[in-house]
């Protein structure tokens, strides 16, 4: 049973940036759980348990989501200047 005023956010984190994201989660003392590892896709699913009354938790979540979005844009970009595969 999760505590009151807590919401669960499930993130799909690419293994390339997993250590960076977990460092933020641990440093900010956010309850978390590794929900699944999709080794063939290079993704780890992590559940975060955020206190809805703590603005800092929302800010940390937003920052983590930004990191994931920027990584995905870089990794899967079709434009030449961002596409690292070329």
pLDDT tens, position by position, 49-60: 999 888 999 999
Q: Which residues contact 48 (CB under 8 A, 6 or more apart)?
A: 8, 9, 10, 11, 25, 30, 31, 32, 61
Provide, rounded to the nearest whole percent, the portion of the chain with pLDDT above 70: 85
Domain ranges of the chain: 6-76
Judged by DSSP in three states, 7 sits in strand
pLDDT at 7: 92
pLDDT of 86 higher than 80: no
- How far is it, in rounded angstroms, from Cα 15 to Cα 19? 8
Q: Is the pLDDT of residue 80 over 60?
A: no
- Segment 37-53 shows an average pLDDT of 93
CATH code of the domain made up of 6-76: 3.30.1370
Report pLDDT for 67: 96
């Amino acid at each position: 049973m999760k505590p009151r005023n807590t919401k669960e956010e499930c993130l799909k984190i690419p293994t390339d940036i997993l250590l960076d994201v977990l460092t933020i989660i641990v440093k900010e003392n956010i309850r978390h759980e590794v929900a699944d590892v999709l080794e063939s896709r290079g993704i780890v699913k992590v559940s975060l348990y955020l206190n809805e009354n703590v603005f800092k938790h929302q800010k940390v979540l937003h920052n983590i989501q930004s990191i994931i979005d920027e990584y995905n844009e870089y990794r899967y970009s079709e434009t030449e200047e961002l596409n690292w595969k070329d």
